[in-house]
Chain A
Amino acid sequence: MRLTELTIGSIARITSIEESPYKEKLQEMGCIPGVLVKPIMKAPFGDPIAFELEEYTLSMRKNEAHSVQVNLLNPLFNS
């Protein structure tokens, strides 16, 4: 599934990032396969979204989040 599909508070592991002009930027900021990611809040109108990524908070637009593939870790909370 994609990063945009996660609900606030659920935890997932990044599996891959699609090719895009911002892929490199995402990687530099720590979006690397294997890293845990947790959406923590959305801006008004649902975009951009802020994620807890390892030890810090990274915000990105839905568009960028859409290019990140993840594996959900706690499906119980993700009803």
Chain B
Amino acid sequence: MENKPSKIVLVGNPNCGKSSLFNNLTKLKQKITNVPGTTIENKVGTVSKGKQKIELIDTPGTYSFNPKSLDEKEAIRIFFEDPPPNTILYIADASNLKRNLFYFSQLAQHGIPMILALNMIDIADFKGFEIDVERLEKELGIRVFKINARTGEGVNTLKKALFEDQFVPHYPFGSENDHTHESHYDSIGKLLNKTTKIKTKRELITGKIDAFATHPILGYLIFLLVLLFIFQSVFTLASYPMDWIENGFGMLSEYLANVLPDGWVKKLIIHGLVAGIAGVVVFVPQIAILFFFMSLLEDTGYMARVSFIMDKMLRGLGLSGKSVVPLLSGAACAIPAIMSTRNIENWKDRLITIMVTPLMSCSARLPVYTLLISMAIPNTPVIGFISLQALVMLSMYVLGTVAALVAAVIFKWFIKYNIPSYFIMELPVYHSPRWGNIWVNCWQKSRSFVTEAGKIILIISVVLWFLASYGPKTDQSLSIQESPSLEQSYAGHFGKAIEPSIAPIGFDWKIGIALITSFAAREVFVGTMSTIYSVGDEEDFDQLREKMKKDRNQNGEPVYSLAVILSLMVFYAFAMQCMSTLAVVYKETRSWKWPTIQFVYMTVLAYFGSWVIFSVFS
């Protein structure tokens, strides 16, 4: 059976260098395609040689053909596609061939032509493994290539071969009637006895690093320092591009205001569309920087150690060591964080992680906290260079994290699921970062934020703009009119309508409007306040702050007392005010049940939290 490969699927275990090879072969000519109706994303790239082109499909790393997690289900789904891939490019970590060949042995049964690429030859050399490639080719009956995906060594030879004919492997794994795991491993063992030799065994540096990284005290201390460093970097580094983006959109609005003819179209474009897009794009720097660090930690192998040392603690809370990545990502944005739960095998662990991740303080809450803290908290130094304002900001992050962990415990009691959770995970060897992979990962996560959240935020921004700009006619007829003020608009009416229900937690109708508009994204709070207090430039924090401070209620007391501000901050910490997150939870759990429960529990928590704080401080 011979054929020209046209649709090649790239498969292998996790941590075998698959992404590096994919990026290297496709020269980054790749796109992510969504499979309609599912959350599944395929990474498809093109390998070209002159005019010839081959479609190369990347799959999530997987250990076997019997998938355990959603990630792995996606990885093998490709083989049931129509038409199925006509060639498998299997990449194996040469320094750990036995286990890497297990999935290979399962795939070899399917009669699809295969090519074997042995990666990480350098580590194998270092460990003293000698692999007889010619003998391996002869035994398997397929082409075998030694490559170094990181440096690109051997990749060109492999690429050339992709445009040649390939053969089905002849090597019989297991025996005719025995395809148990034992019999496959037995065959692999025999194969490796014939084709590999171990000269000397040298120890890798990994063990020495692990003595620190998993130390009972130092391990947590290092993790804490890494976290502090990351968050400090996110705040300081992201502020520059965020300023540029804000200024850029400000200039765009100004330009549009000058060139567009007056009318509702102009208002829709400037206050609906441009403001909506700006609200999405402004978060990209923070999200990109946070994901840069997350990818860095994952790529070097450190994140697996964090999962290892955190597992016991998180298990008691109904989570698992694998919940660490989603929870930390939640500090940037809950949307990609929830999507990253797909590698958690146990449904209950995964569901609880999804349910509590939005309580982690995401970057959209940051502008809200910044405004409110600057209104109520004096900037006095507390310890050294740490100010009271910074301390309050930090405590908002702690509050979110504690709430997430407590919520997890409660879900643990309520969600019934009988299949026990387990934590069987490879601890990969440490290696220096593969920058190419990290950039690609960072870019793709940021893009998925813009497309996933962006669509929803944009639509809601436009709807809210309409509700805030138009109102019912005063003469009780059903026609609409351009509203003279926000108070007279649909949004204003709505705010007044809910005022009685939010009065116990200290909010008036104006805050009510902001709560409603915040459903697009939490940071819309600031923009709404600017509109309500008719501050010209949205980003003029000082002007807005002064106007808000001066606002008085009927009794002549300030609207924004300390109690109200703290109550608002707690509300924003707990409330589910993000439609995009709810949409992603629906897609990931495939039911409206969980986003509904999430919305209800978070809103109830927010209301009671605010009520308690308001009662205590007023």
- Contacts from A to B (Cβ < 8 Å): 20-22, 24-30, 32-33, 35, 40-41, 43-45, 47-48, 50, 53-61, 63-64
The residue on A at minimum CB distance from B219 is A44
**Of A27, A33, A43, A63, which contacts B309 at CB under 8 A?**
A43
The residue on A at minimum CB distance from B315 is A61
* Bound CA–CA A47/B308 (angstroms): 9
**Of A27, A29, A48, which contacts B311 at CB under 8 A?**
A48
18 A–B pairs (Cβ distance < 8 Å), ordered by A: A21-B419, A21-B422, A24-B181, A28-B63, A29-B424, A33-B182, A35-B185, A40-B207, A50-B427, A54-B98, A54-B99, A55-B97, A56-B96, A56-B99, A56-B428, A57-B428, A59-B308, A59-B424
Q: Is B83 an interface residue (CB 8 A)?
A: no
Known: A41-B214, A57-B427. A30 touches B422 (CB 8 A): no
Contact with A along B201-222 (1 / 0, CB 8 A): 0000011001100111001100
Q: Is B64 an interface residue (CB 8 A)?
A: yes
CB distance from A45 to the nearest CB of B (A): 5
CB distance from B562 to the nearest CB of A (A): 41
CB distance from B68 to the nearest CB of A (A): 6
* Bound CA–CA A24/B428 (angstroms): 21
The residue on B at minimum CB distance from A65 is B424
The answer on a CB contact under 8 Å between A45 and B64 is no
The residue on B at minimum CB distance from A26 is B424
The answer on a CB contact under 8 Å between A28 and B420 is no
Hey, which chain B residues are within 8 Å of A30, CB to CB?
98-99, 102, 185
The answer on a CB contact under 8 Å between A29 and B423 is no
Hey, which chain B residues are within 8 Å of A41, CB to CB?
210-211, 214
* Bound CA–CA A60/B102 (angstroms): 19
Hey, which chain A residues are within 8 Å of B182, CB to CB?
27, 32-33
Hey, which chain A residues are within 8 Å of B7, CB to CB?
none
**Of A24, A43, A53, A55, which contacts B312 at CB under 8 A?**
A43
Hey, which chain B residues are within 8 Å of A21, CB to CB?
419-420, 422
- Count B interface residues, CB 8 Å: 42
**Of A33, A40, A45, A60, which contacts B423 at CB under 8 A?**
A60
The residue on B at minimum CB distance from A42 is B214
* Bound CA–CA A70/B294 (angstroms): 38
Known: A44-B215, A58-B427, A59-B427. 8 other contacts (CB 8 A): A22-B424, A29-B63, A32-B181, A43-B312, A44-B220, A54-B99, A57-B427, A58-B425
Hey, which chain B residues are within 8 Å of A29, CB to CB?
63, 99, 424, 426
* Bound CA–CA A44/B426 (angstroms): 18
Known: A41-B210, A44-B216, A44-B220. A28 touches B181 (CB 8 A): yes
The answer on a CB contact under 8 Å between A60 and B424 is yes
The answer on a CB contact under 8 Å between A55 and B424 is no
CB distance from A13 to the nearest CB of B (A): 14
The residue on B at minimum CB distance from A54 is B98
How many A-B pairs with Cβ below 8 Å?
A: 112
Hey, which chain A residues are within 8 Å of B527, CB to CB?
none
The answer on a CB contact under 8 Å between B66 and A24 is yes
CB distance from B601 to the nearest CB of A (A): 29
The residue on A at minimum CB distance from B189 is A34
* Bound CA–CA A22/B98 (angstroms): 20
Contact with A along B409-428 (1 / 0, CB 8 A): 00000000001101111111
Hey, which chain A residues are within 8 Å of B211, CB to CB?
41
Hey, which chain B residues are within 8 Å of A50, CB to CB?
210, 214, 308, 427
Contacting residues of chain B (426-444) with chain A, CB-CB under 8 angstroms: 426-429
CB distance from A72 to the nearest CB of B (A): 21
Known: A30-B185, A54-B98. A64 touches B425 (CB 8 A): no
Q: Is B159 an interface residue (CB 8 A)?
A: no
Hey, which chain B residues are within 8 Å of A61, CB to CB?
311, 315, 422-423
Taking each of A28, A45, A47, A64, which has the highest tally of chain B beta carbons within 10 Å of its own beta carbon? A28
Contacting residues of chain B (79-126) with chain A, CB-CB under 8 angstroms: 95-99, 102-103
CB distance from B425 to the nearest CB of A (A): 5
The answer on a CB contact under 8 Å between A28 and B427 is no
The residue on A at minimum CB distance from B307 is A59
Q: Is B127 an interface residue (CB 8 A)?
A: yes
* Bound CA–CA A65/B429 (angstroms): 21
The 9 closest A-B pairs by CB, nearest first: A27-B181, A44-B216, A57-B427, A28-B64, A22-B422, A30-B99, A55-B96, A56-B96, A32-B185
**Of B127, B422, B428, which contacts A64 at CB under 8 A?**
B422
* Bound CA–CA A45/B308 (angstroms): 11
Known: A41-B214, A43-B214. A60 touches B422 (CB 8 A): yes
The answer on a CB contact under 8 Å between A43 and B308 is yes
CB distance from A3 to the nearest CB of B (A): 12
Q: Is B272 an interface residue (CB 8 A)?
A: no
The answer on a CB contact under 8 Å between A43 and B311 is yes
Hey, which chain A residues are within 8 Å of B102, CB to CB?
28, 30
Hey, which chain B residues are within 8 Å of A56, CB to CB?
95-96, 99, 426-429
Contact with A along B306-338 (1 / 0, CB 8 A): 001101110100000100000000000000000
Hey, which chain B residues are within 8 Å of A45, CB to CB?
216, 312-313
